Amino acid sequence: MPEDVARLVRRYRDLLVRWPEEGLGAARPEVAGILLHRSYDIRDVLRQSEEGRRAIGALMRDDVEAVRLAAATDVLEWDPVAAEPVLEEIATGGRLALTAEVTLQLFRDGEFDVD
């Protein structure tokens, strides 16, 4: 993996790890929004290359639920067969279950837009 992709993936993951703890967990939606928007900027760069898409896909196996959720949501765009089971597992329970469930429903209804 090129160094620039590896660096971006580390930053992307760090933002996603912080998102539920510093934003949602602290009931600070403004912080959650800032972290997510920064992760979206990085995601937009990563998904432009095959290496970046592979790196995002690998994060669907991360041990942090928020990272798996974001990665699977992104991967829906180019590999829904791989992403749907990850979202289905998250939707079975936990802190981000509703987000995963809504994401799947929107995707299956043809109303999902990663942007």
pLDDT tens track for 48-100: 999 999 999 999 999 999 999 999 999 999 999 999 999 999 999 988 999 99
CA distance 72 to 82: 8
3-state secondary structure (DSSP) of residue 109: coil
CA distance 85 to 91: 10
Report the chain's terminal Cα–Cα distance, integer Å: 25
Query: With 70 as the cut, is the pLDDT of residue 10 above it?
Result: yes
CA distance 73 to 79: 10
Would you state the torsion angle of the CA atoms of residues 52, 38, 8, 68, taken in this order, to the nearest 10 degrees?
-60
**Which residue bears the tokens 């620039």?**
4
Band the pLDDT of 41: cuts 50, 70, 90: very high
